[in-house]
Amino acid sequence: MASNSDNSSVGMPQLDFSTFPNQIFWLVVFCVVLFAIVKFFIIPRMEDIFANRRKIIDGNIAKAEEIRLRVSEIEKHIEEELQKAKSQCDEIMNASGNNIKEQMALALEDSKIATTQLISEAEGRLKELRDGSEAAIEKISEELASVIISKISRGK
């Protein structure tokens, strides 16, 4: 190391102006080469990687959005179906209620007819019985009268 003392072991090599043209020459050469590398290799590559990533992320976001839309559609569909089923159920309940009411009315009608029939039948029989008993009373009273008459006439 000390062999360089002829050059400069005292002072700063940075201030040795005789080296400046050489330094600047190589600096310019490497700057130009590096700039070309940056411009034609590094930047396109980085932007490509970034754009790809962006694309995939955007694609995923779009897909997620699509799925979200489909989910809300399915939800709406389910809601609709539910509403439909509910109204159908209401309809069925109403219909069966009406049916029951009708059936009951019919049954009531039937039983009313049956009772009136029974009542009129019973009334007819009662009338018959009454008629029969009147005739019997008449017959008995006739017989009784003839007995009484014969008793009286005998007693004389």
- The residues, any chain, with a CB within 8 Å of residue 9's CB and separated by 6 or more, are 2
How far apart CA 107 and CA 101 sit, in angstroms, is: 10
Instruction: Determine the Cα–Cα distance for residues 129 and 135; give it in Å rounded to an integer.
Output: 10
- Based on the shown chain and the rule CB under 8 A, indicate whether residue 43 belongs to the binding site for another protein: yes
CA–CA dist 4, 11 (Å, integer)? 13
- Smaller CB separation from another protein, 22 or 153: 22
The span of 15-23, 80-88, 130-138, 148-156 binding another protein (CB under 8 A) equals 15-23
Q: Can you tell me which of 49, 104, 108, 126 binds another protein, judged by CB under 8 A? A: 49
- List interacting residues with another protein (CB under 8 A): 1-2, 4, 7-9, 11-16, 18-31, 33-35, 37-39, 41-43, 45-46, 48-50, 52-53, 56
